[in-house]
Every structure is written in C-alpha cells, then in structure tokens.
Amino acid sequence: MKRIYLCLAHMSGNEQKFIQEAFDTNWVVPLGPNVNGFEADLEAFVGEGKKVVALSAGTAAIHLALLACGVGLGDEVLVQSFTFCASSHPITYLGATPVFVDSERDTWNMDPALLEEAIKDRIAKTGKKPKAIVPVALYGMPYKIEEIMEIANRYDIPVIEDAAEGFGSKYKGQMLGTFGRYGVLSFNGNKMITTSGGGALICQDDAAKQEIMFYATQAREAYPYYQHETIGYNYRMSNICAGIGRGQMTVADEHIRHHQHVCELYKELLKDVEGITLQQNPSPDYDSNYWLNTILIDPSVKVKGEENAYGETVQGAVGGAGNVLHGGASAHTDCEPNTNIEALRIYLDQAGIEARPLWKPMHKQPVYKNNPAYLNGVSEELFKKGMCLPSGPYVTDDDVRYIVEKIKEALL
C-alpha cells in the first residue's frame, strides 16, 4: 500500500550540483560559498531590504533573536500558546519565562486583544514590560500583524515573528518575517523548502546580521587566537546543507503554489461534507502558503471505530520523533483531541494516510503547567476539533481525492 505523508521534502534536481561543488572545493564546513549564496537567495525572496543569516535550525534562530533582544534570566516573553514547542523552549534556554497568549478564531494565531491585556497585567504584576513578543504563523497562516505591531510599538516591545511554518506566506503582499525586528524561518525536512535540517533569521540590516553571525559562530573576538568575552553558540548552517537550500530555492514558488492548489482541491471536495470545515484565508489581505491543510470536525460528527479511540497507549514512535521512543504513561491526558478526531486518525492511518491532530497548546503542556497564561479557550477548542491533512509536494490530486474518499467512508 502506498503511504501518503503529511509533508515531505521534494528535491528540485539542482541540489546535487551545489553539493558536489562544495565537495570539489573542500568547503565542507559551516561557512562557504553555498551559505553566502543561500543567504543572498533568501534576501531576494523575502525582500523589503532585509538581511538573512542561515543557521542550523529554526529553533536556533529563535534563540539568537531572543538573545539579541536582550532576553535573559528573570525576564518574561509573550509567546503564542497554540504552536510547536520550538517557539517557547528557547525562552527557557535563556532563563526567562514564557508567558502564553491564546488565539483568535480568524487565523488561529495570537489574539491581539489578549496580547495587550497580558502586557498590562505583566507590568502591573512584575513592575516591568515583557522583553519580546513572539507570534506564530500556525500552519502557514499569517497572524494579525498590523494589530500586533501597533500594540508592540505602543509599548516599545520588539516582535520576533515565528514564520517557521510561514515561508512564503504574505500579509497585504508583504512576506511574513519582515514586519518585526526579527523573523524566523525553518528548513526542516517537512517544511516548504528544506536544507535537510536548518533555519534562518531575517534581520533588519547589516549591523543586526553581523551581531547574529557573531553569536552563531561561538562569539569569537578579533584576535589571532581564540578570545571569548561573551557566550556564543555553534549555530551556523553548513555549506553542504546550504547547497541543498540553493537547489530548493529554484522550486520554492512552485512548492508554495502546489500547497495552495491542494487547499483549493480539499475545499472543492469537502464543501458538501456536513460538520467538516477547512481552514482558509479569512480575507484577501491574508495569503497563506497552506504548509499544512487543516480541518475542524464538529463533535456531533460520528466516526467508525470511535468507541475504541484511546483504547491503548501508543507503542511506536510518532511522526517527527525520529524513532525515539518515550512511551506515555497513559492513553489519556487532561487535554486531548475528541474521540472522533482520534478515530478518524486511526482510520486514515490504516488506509495508508498520515494525519495528525493540531499542535497541543503550550499552556496545556505539563512542562509549562505553572507558567502565566492569558486564555480565552480558543486554542483548546481548536486542538480538540482539529486535524492536519497531507499537503506536501508529493501529494497528488489523486491522493487528495483518495484522502477525502476515505474521510467520507469513515463517517457514520
């Protein structure tokens, strides 16, 4: 049986040329012509006169952006709760506290009203402003950036845009990651383009780029020997990975168009299925890359096998875990998808289709159970009702038809 995955990297055919060039010239290090070329390609892609630093991961990019914004021990950072853990974990690396902000319903991203409420309350409770604001482009959907930036500017708090899932997404024609002080990109193996692993940080200007590069290369001072006056990190992208990235940039626009086409096909095929809603751009101002296409399923919808959902703990590695096993203590947690979502996930899995629940909100993660959070119930509701469907370059029109056929087949 063919297996249809959520989102896998697709090679352009040009990667080998750049990789071979790196081997031929012996640039097999975390610097070199491919790194410089990839950064130049990215700068042209995002536009707005921005500068880009290629790094080992999107998580590294968030870490360095926080560092450059002065985040340190005892500080607080306002971060979207509805996201992957890479948005919040780097805050804790620096000894700071993630303060979680819930979502609004239009984009599923950071709620500007709750953001301002959180800023006022943190100032009242701690006597100081949060050091940064981190909105996230969930599944590629742009956040309400105009409202977020207006609030951030009024309180003079820097914005770090986590556009790891939003490569190529735009708001009013402007690329995500270019509105705030810094913008984060990811090139993990499941993203819009890949360098196998890797990320990048979008910076305002050359001075900011040089500062980030300094921290990303172990913070070595300008001496003929190794002199370190501050703590740095080994975060620079390798010349080999950057070579893959240069090849990927030749098909970046094609990949984005494919994901958007897949969304249109899901929209057409699901339009008459009662109780299932496809997440789409809320207005013409928003231009999502639809990194993953996502649906909400009403709790009233019944699915075959629902009575057996959560019947046993997961025994194998789950997607994205790299075959690393760390078994759960129970089949249940205090916040989990509805039984119809889990039953549909299992049904699709048995049909050779990878589907996953939405990100579990960070404020419901045990590791963050004591962190401040400003909530309205939206992200928990979405998590319980939502599912991600295959969307990547390897997903064909026939695959989408098969996926929807199996969804309909599973419904009672």
Tally of CB atoms within 10 A around 324 = 8
Comparing CA positions, the residue from 101, 94, 97, 92 lying closest to residue 76 is 97
Comparing CA positions, the residue from 346, 358, 338 lying closest to residue 275 is 338
Q: Can you say how many angstroms the Cα of residue 400 is from the centroid of all Cα atoms in its chain?
A: 23
Grouping H, G, I as helix, E, B as strand and the rest as coil, residue 353 is: strand
- Describe the crossing of helices 15-24 and 33-46 by its angle, rounded to 10 degrees: 150
Residue 241 is predicted with a pLDDT of: 92
Residue 11's pLDDT band, with cuts at 50, 70 and 90, is: confident
Biggest CA pair distance of the chain: 72
* pLDDT 10s digits, 343-389: 999 999 999 999 999 999 999 999 999 999 999 999 999 999 999 99
Grouping H, G, I as helix, E, B as strand and the rest as coil, residue 54 is: strand
Tokens of 67: 């560092």
Tally of CB atoms within 10 A around 281 = 17
Comparing CA positions, the residue from 86, 314, 274, 289 lying closest to residue 186 is 86
Alpha-carbon radius of gyration of the chain: 21
pLDDT for 113 beyond 70: yes
Residue 320 is predicted with a pLDDT of: 57
* pLDDT 10s digits, 179-219: 999 999 999 989 999 998 899 999 999 999 999 999 999 99
Residue 127's pLDDT band, with cuts at 50, 70 and 90, is: very high
| DSSP code at position 194 | -
Residue 9 is predicted with a pLDDT of: 76
For tokens 């790891």, the residue is 164
Domains and CATH numbers, the chain: 15-252 (3.40.640.10), 253-410 (3.90.1150.10)
Grouping H, G, I as helix, E, B as strand and the rest as coil, residue 299 is: coil
Comparing CA positions, the residue from 186, 236, 201 lying closest to residue 67 is 201
